[in-house]
């Protein structure tokens, strides 16, 4: 009996040591990582969403969060009772900035046309990633929708827009009949609102936030306490 107890004890010790020495290969897990650091909030911006049963828009504050391990920025918001995180990688952020410059040039040249079916993707589109939960303790669902860049007139006023198309969630070996689709969501920006987001999309600005985090200042951006990194707990 003493022999078996000693064997069990030795096994537990070995298991504990192996568990403590196991490390995560972050470079392999996150190939686009720019820093092995937790997400950092850049603060909030204002955007406009469609208002249910109305032709008017609903101004909403959304949080903009930088995920250094992913080198991606997430727009985090609630839309029709569903919580979304819309991720923008570096290339997509650069395309957003370029699209806004084109929109500004068209705006200044008074060449904008009220034909949203033609103009909703006039500045191209990017491949996005979105995570969503239908309520607080629901499992996180993931999809890869196209996000179209363009503009649209609402109430006679032009807005720079992103249109996240609906997309079926990624399969996780569950019953395909249980797979849902992310919603189609328009975001409307005034030029000032879009400029605010461009600032937070800028790579140099984002890396500066990490430096401030390492060298704390009185008004440094807070670290996000609760997050998921593309499915990580």
Domain ranges of the chain: 23-208
Has this prediction a pTM greater than 0.75?
A: yes
pLDDT at 121: 97
Dist. CA 161–CA 159, nearest whole Å: 6
Q: Give the residue from 15, 72, 5, 50 showing the smallest Cα distance to 155.
A: 50
- Taking the CA atoms of the chain, what radius of gyration do you get in angstroms? 22
pLDDT at 146: 97
DSSP letter for 57, please: E
The span from the first CA to the last CA of the chain, in angstroms, equals: 41
Contact 139/105 with Cβ under 8 angstroms? Answer: no
Q: Give the residue from 141, 207, 135 showing the smallest Cα distance to 170.
A: 141
Residue 120 structure tokens = 């909703």
Q: State the DSSP H helix or E strand holding residue 196, giving kind and residue range, or none if neither.
A: helix 191-201
DSSP letter for 102, please: H
Sheet of 185-189, strands arranged across? 125-127, 146-154, 157-164, 185-189, 40-50, 57-67, 72-79, 82-89, 129-133, 141-143
Q: State the DSSP H helix or E strand holding residue 188, giving kind and residue range, or none if neither.
A: strand 185-189
pLDDT at 177: 57
pLDDT at 64: 98
pLDDT at 89: 97
pLDDT at 201: 98
pLDDT averaged over 10-residue windows placed end to end, the chain, 233 residues: 49 46 68 91 97 89 97 96 95 98 98 95 96 84 96 96 95 66 95 98 96 64 48 44
Dist. CA 187–CA 192, nearest whole Å: 14
């Amino acid at each position: 009996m003493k022999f078996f107890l000693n064997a069990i004890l030795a096994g537990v010790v070995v298991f504990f040591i192996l568990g403590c020495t196991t490390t995560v290969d972050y470079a392999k897990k996150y190939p686009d990582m720019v820093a092995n650091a937790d997400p950092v909030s850049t603060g909030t911006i204002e955007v406009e969403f469609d208002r249910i049963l109305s032709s008017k828009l609903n101004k909403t504050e959304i949080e903009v969060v930088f995920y250094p391990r992913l080198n991606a920025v997430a727009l985090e918001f609630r839309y029709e009772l569903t919580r979304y995180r819309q991720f923008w990688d570096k290339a997509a952020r650069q395309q957003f900035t370029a699209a806004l410059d084109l929109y500004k040039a068209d705006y200044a040249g008074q060449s904008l046309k009220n034909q949203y079916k033609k103009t909703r993707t006039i500045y191209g589109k990017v491949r996005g990633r979105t995570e969503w939960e239908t309520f607080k303790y629901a499992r996180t669902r993931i999809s890869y929708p196209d996000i179209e860049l363009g503009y649209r007139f609402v109430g006679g006023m032009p807005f720079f827009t992103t249109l996240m198309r609906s997309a079926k969630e990624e399969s996780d070996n569950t019953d395909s009949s249980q797979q849902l689709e992310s919603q189609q969501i328009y975001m409307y920006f005034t030029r000032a609102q879009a400029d605010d987001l461009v600032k937070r999309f800028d790579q140099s600005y984002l890396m500066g936030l990490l430096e401030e985090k390492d060298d704390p200042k009185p008004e440094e951006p807070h670290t996000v306490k609760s997050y998921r990194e593309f499915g990580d707990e």
